[in-house]
Amino acid sequence: MAGRKPSGKSPAPKKRTQAKAAQKTEQGAAAPEAWLKQAHVLTEALPFMQRYDRKTVVIKYGGHAMGDATLSKLFAHDVVLLKQAGINPVIVHGGGPQIASMLDRLDIKSEFRDGLRVTDAATIEVVEMVLAGAINKQIVTALNQAGGRAVGISGKDGNLILAEKTRSRKNARSNVEKAANLGFVGSPKTITTDVLDVMLASDIIPVIAPIATSADGQTLNVNADTAAGAIAAAVQAERLLMLTDVRGVLDKKGNLVTRLGVRQANALIRNGTAQGGMIPKLQTAIDAVKNGVGATAILDGRVPNAILLELFTALGAGTLVE
């Protein structure tokens, strides 16, 4: 509307308003081009919006990608924009660094095996408190501040994630299954989506903490990647996005691998290229593809608007496993 003459019906503008209008027109001189660009950007996003229309996109928001306040705001804006555009985002979050810092403050020692946290009785209490409490509500608040309507739940709510204690784990290299006691760590067994379905059919954005219940009512810590993968499969998501703190999957030389098939992803685990937290991430991507999820992208959560870049541009970002 800038630059348009006021209609005859409008009352004569006062002096201050006139000064303001003059200022606006001056700035407006450069504006048409910028606005044309903006309009063009929107038209380019149309085919992508149509592709994901009413589809579910599960977004694993890694604890390592959450550190920066500006990035967290952008993340929340991106997610609210998806919902506004008719796409159904489901957020599943991690919280590795935040749990570590709380365990540290409470002087509780904790160790990792192949990217999974060994969780004793004292640790599981802290894990649930930090994940389902502080972090979950922090994300809910950010989404609501961005104009969304977010509701935070854990895998316990509505029996969303029923898990079984993880009693063995595969040796990443030899692929041999070995007994292992990781404590209160669970693998998802049954995903009950009815609460999620209600949310997805409304304007609510679900935010899920990866805490599960066992059949006998124990609290189990589920790796957030694993939980996101199981949920993505249960709702047959079009995409699973995993936001982390690296550019994507890196090869032995540290170069970004932009595309991976299931076989190659397996090889990266076996030959030791993927280590620590990247092991459950790749395993989740492999399982997701096998279980009917469209594709999984492992993205750099430190890049502003990483989600929009991946979903709404031809560029894509990070590593796509399909």
Ligand X SMILES: Nc1ncnc2c1ncn2[C@@H]1O[C@H](COP(=O)(O)OP(=O)(O)OP(=O)(O)O)[C@@H](O)[C@H]1O
Judged by the rule CB under 6 A, the positions of this chain that interact with ligand X are: 62-65, 94-96, 115, 224-225, 244-246, 249-250, 273-278
Measured distance CA(180)–CA(167) in Å, rounded: 5
Residue 274 binding partner per list Mg ion, ligand X, none, with a CB distance cut-off of 5 to 8 Å that depends on partner kind: ligand X
Residue 278 binding partner per list Mg ion, ligand X, none, with a CB distance cut-off of 5 to 8 Å that depends on partner kind: ligand X
* CB nearer ligand X, residue 149 or residue 302: 302
Residue 273 binding partner per list Mg ion, ligand X, none, with a CB distance cut-off of 5 to 8 Å that depends on partner kind: ligand X
Residue whose CB is nearest to Mg ion in the complex, by number? 277
The CB-of-308 to ligand X minimum distance in angstroms stands at 19
Residue 238 binding partner per list Mg ion, ligand X, none, with a CB distance cut-off of 5 to 8 Å that depends on partner kind: none
The CB-of-273 to ligand X minimum distance in angstroms stands at 5
* CB nearer ligand X, residue 157 or residue 225: 225
Q: Which of 95, 277, 301, 318 forms a contact with Mg ion (CB under 5 A)?
A: 277
* CB nearer ligand X, residue 245 or residue 322: 245
Beta strands of 172-304 (E only): which ranges? 177-179, 186-191, 204-209, 211-214, 219-221, 239-244, 259-260, 295-300
Measured distance CA(83)–CA(91) in Å, rounded: 12
Q: If 0-12 CB within 10 Å is exposed, 13-18 middle and 19+ buried, where does residue 288 land?
A: buried
* CB nearer ligand X, residue 88 or residue 223: 223
Measured distance CA(193)–CA(178) in Å, rounded: 32
Residue 309 binding partner per list ligand X, Mg ion, none, with a CB distance cut-off of 5 to 8 Å that depends on partner kind: none
162 strand-pairing partners? 190, 213
Give the single-character DSSP code of 132: I
- Residue 66, phi-psi category: left (phi > 0), alpha (psi -120 to 50), beta (remainder): alpha
169 strand-pairing partners? 178
In the complex, which residues of this chain contact Mg ion (CB under 5 A)? 277
